[in-house]
Amino acid sequence: MADRILFVCHANLCRSPMAEYLAGWLLAKLPVEVASAGTAAVDGRSMHPYAAQVAAGTGRDPAAFRSRALTVGQLTDAALVLTATRRQRAACVSLAPAALHRTFTLRQFGRLAGLADAPDTTDAGALRAAARAAAQARGRLQPTSTAEDDLVDPIGGTPTDFRRCAQEIERSLTPVAALIDAAG
């Protein structure tokens, strides 16, 4: 299992690529790899043009990005799986049941990371320790609605809709980055 975060959405054209690029930018100094895939993705497609604008803002060129269909191997290889929606979380866990305890919606994990105690890194790397610390905070987080866990899909929307989605992704990733940094 790599020290990798896998971001998952539906088609791997908008939300998960934006999350991958934003996480790569926010976690650049941490010992973490990032990747993305889609539960219904068609391999080899370019990122949505509005998502590519967001991705370009991270300093990385999105031109080489190609969508990837989600596989069991990607799920079992990732130390942490963050999905755009509860439905995609369920699809991931259904595909790879062993990933249950390290698969969350991105927004849920962001809230958990903000509540987590300092990670214990005695027997795990920074990412695994951060994931475990956030998972242990689950009991302190009140249940939420689907609307509070799911990232709204900006497909069919305006550039503003994509920026709004990217802002929500970044807001969710900020406590994640802090937790991984505290573990590192």
pLDDT at position 135: 87
What 3-state DSSP class applies to 2?
strand
pLDDT at position 140: 80
pLDDT at position 100: 93
* DSSP state, residue 123: S
What 3-state DSSP class applies to 84?
coil
pLDDT at position 102: 94
Helix (H) or strand (E) holding 149, with range, is helix 146-149
Distance of alpha carbon 69 from alpha carbon 66, whole angstroms: 10
The percentage of the chain sitting over the pLDDT mark of 70, rounded to a whole number, equals 99
Q: From start to end of the chain, where are the E strands?
A: 2-9, 33-38, 78-83, 103-105
pLDDT at position 2: 63
Number of other CB atoms surrounding residue 3 within 10 Å:
17
Q: Which two tokens stand for residue 35?
A: 């990747």
pLDDT at position 179: 93
Measured in degrees and rounded to the nearest 5, phi and psi for residue 81 equal -115, 125
Query: Which parts of the chain sit beneath pLDDT 70?
Result: 1-2
Distance of alpha carbon 117 from alpha carbon 128, whole angstroms: 14
| Residue in the block written with tokens 């698969």 | 103
- 96-120 pLDDT, tens digit per residue, is 999 999 999 999 999 999 999 988 8
Distance of alpha carbon 176 from alpha carbon 184, whole angstroms: 12
- 52-75 pLDDT, tens digit per residue, is 999 999 999 999 999 999 999 999
